[in-house]
Structure 1
Amino acid sequence: MMNGHSLAEVFGAVGIFAFVTTVITVIIVQIGATVRARAALAREDEYRKLASGGADAQQGIERHLGEINERLAAIEKVLKTVE
């Protein structure tokens, strides 16, 4: 049978094991959260760049449409003159 001293050693070993396991688990969870947060920030940055590029492309298209409208108006003027 175990005496009080041996029983205390067993409880101490189990307690230390539980503590170390808890600390390791918390560290792993925090590292995972950090990795996920960094991935989310990188993804948001890519979306921001994509949106900026889309806005720039839209402005370019609007400029070209304005030029096309001016040319079309000039062609219509020439056609009316020819009639």
Structure 2
Amino acid sequence: MTFYDPDAVVWTLGSLVLIVPVLIVAIRQSGATARAKAQLAREQEYQRLTELSVTAQELTDQKLGEIAAQLTDISARVASVERSLKEIE
């Protein structure tokens, strides 16, 4: 007494042999696609951070130039005050 049909077993195993590799390839490719998207997102974020850093550095340089100009002006004024005080003595 046979509970299974040999032809059905052959068709089932044959189908599995053909379907399983296709599923494995599809899963691997979807994983590779997800990794590529994540890497692209990381690179875009790094690029954005780099642009922010450059902007911040440019603003810092501008402010430093303004401070240097003010310091030069203050130094000239202090020198003028010192000369005036020396003349008064």
- Give the aligned length: 78
Task: State percent identity of aligned pairs.
Answer: 37
Aligned-partner SS, 1:28: helix
Matches of 1:49 and 1:42 in 2, distance apart?
11
In structure 1, list runs of 5 or more residues that go unmatched: 1-5
Q: Deviations over 1:36-64 (max 9, x none)?
A: 10011011000100000000000000000
Q: Does 1:80 align with 2:79?
A: yes
Please, what TM-score do these two structures have when normalized by structure 1?
0.85
Which residue does 1:3 correspond to in 2?
none
User: Offset at 1:13?
Assistant: 3.3
Matches of 1:80 and 1:18 in 2, distance apart?
92
- Asked which structure has the greater CA Rg, the reply is 2
In structure 2, list runs of 5 or more residues that go unmatched: 83-89
Letter in 2 for 1:55: V
Letter in 2 for 1:67: E
Letter in 2 for 1:64: K
